[in-house]
Amino acid sequence: MDLGIRGRKAIVNGGSAGMGRGAVLALAREGVELFVSARGEDRLLRTCEEISRETGARIHPIVADHSSDAGRETILAACPEPDILVGTCSPPPTTGDYRTISMDDWRVTLDISLLSPVQFMQATIDGMVARRWGRIVNIGTGAAKFPAQIRILSGAPRAALVNYTVAVSKLVARHNVIINNILPGMHHTASIHDRYMAQAARNGTTYEQEVQKFVDEWRIPANRFGDPDDVGAFVAMFCSEYANFTTGQSLVMDGGLTNSTF
C-alpha cells in the first residue's frame, strides 16, 4: 500500500531502538528521507545502516540529545524544514512509592517527555503550515490516559503533551497539518529487554518467564507484549496522505489491557 509520502523529509527523535526504530523502518519503506537522532552513537549508526541497506532509503544519523537546547539546534540544523516530525524517547524508570520521586527526577523527565517535543513542534509547525502539508506523531505511553503509580514519571508529562498536541491540532488542521499521538503499552523494546533480563538474572529465570509474569499479573488480553515495529507501522499510517481527516487523536496500543469503551 503506497502511503503517498515518498520523498518527504522526516525527523525521528529517539529513533535508534524500540518504537522509534520501528517508525524509522516503516517510513523508510515508504521512501521517506530520514533524519534520525539518538544519544548513543554506536547503536544509532548501526540502526541507520541496517535500515538503509534493507530499504534503500536515505537516512542521516544525528548524534544528539533532543532534550537539550544544543541537541535541538543540531537536529534542526540538519533538517530545518521537515514534512514529518516523530518524537519518542526511552521511558523513565518505573516508580514505586510516588513520594520517593525527587524534583530532579521530575525535571529530567519533563525535559525529555514534554518540553522537548513541544519545542520541536513550535520550531517546525509554521513551516508545515506555510507549505500546507505536515504530519506530527508523538509516541507516548498508555499511562497518559490510564494512570498507574508505577508509570507516574512517564504518564503525567505525556498526558500534558497529549493535551497540548490535541489543542494545537485544532488550530492547524485547516492547513493540512495533522497531529496525532500513539499511546503504547508494553512492547519488546531495548529498555524492556534490559529491565527483564536484569530481573531474570536476579530471580534465576528467563526473560520470557519474567515477561509472562507481568502479562499474567496485569491480565493483558493479548497474552504477550507488543512488537515495536507494529507501532512503527501505525506511525507511518498517521504520517500518510490517508490521515488527512484524522487529527487530534490518541491511539492506545496495549494488547487490550486498558478498559475504555471509547
pLDDT recorded at residue 60: 98
Range of the domain at 148: 9-187+228-251
Looking at the structure, tell me whether residues 112 and 151 fall in a common domain: yes
Q: Indicate whether 196 belongs to any domain.
A: yes
CATH code at position 117 = 3.40.50.720
Quick one: 75 and 173 in the same domain?
A: yes
Are residues 23 and 145 part of one domain? Answer: yes
Distance CA(144)–CA(147), nearest Å, equals 6
Residue 2 included in any domain: no
Residue 246: its pLDDT value, please?
97
Is residue 40 a contact partner of residue 16, using CB atoms and an 8 Å limit?
Answer: yes
pLDDT of residue 260: 78
Output the pLDDT for position 222.
97
Name the domain count of the chain: 2
Q: Which amino acid is at 53?
A: R
For the record, the C-alpha cell of 141 comes out as 505511553
pLDDT score of 150: 85
pLDDT, residue 91, reads 75
* Domain co-membership, 149 together with 211: no
Per-residue pLDDT of the chain (262 residues; tens, 9 = 90+): 899 999 999 999 999 999 999 999 999 999 999 999 999 999 999 999 999 999 999 999 999 999 999 999 999 999 999 999 999 977 777 788 888 899 999 999 999 999 999 999 999 999 999 999 999 999 999 988 998 888 899 899 999 999 999 999 999 999 999 999 999 999 999 989 999 999 999 999 999 999 999 999 999 999 999 999 999 999 999 999 999 999 999 999 999 999 777 7
Shared-domain flag, residues 133 and 98: yes
**Predicted model pTM:** 0.95
Question: Quick one: 194 and 175 in the same domain?
Answer: no
Domain annotation covers residue 164: yes
| Residue 240, all three cell numbers | 500518510
Amino acid at 124: T
pLDDT at 148: 86
Residue 138's DSSP bridge partners are: 87, 181
For 30, what's the count of Cα atoms within 13 Å in the CB-facing half-sphere?
A: 29
Tell me, yes or no, whether 93 lies in a domain: yes
Helix or strand run (H / E) with residue 250: strand 250-253
In a domain, 174, yes or no: yes
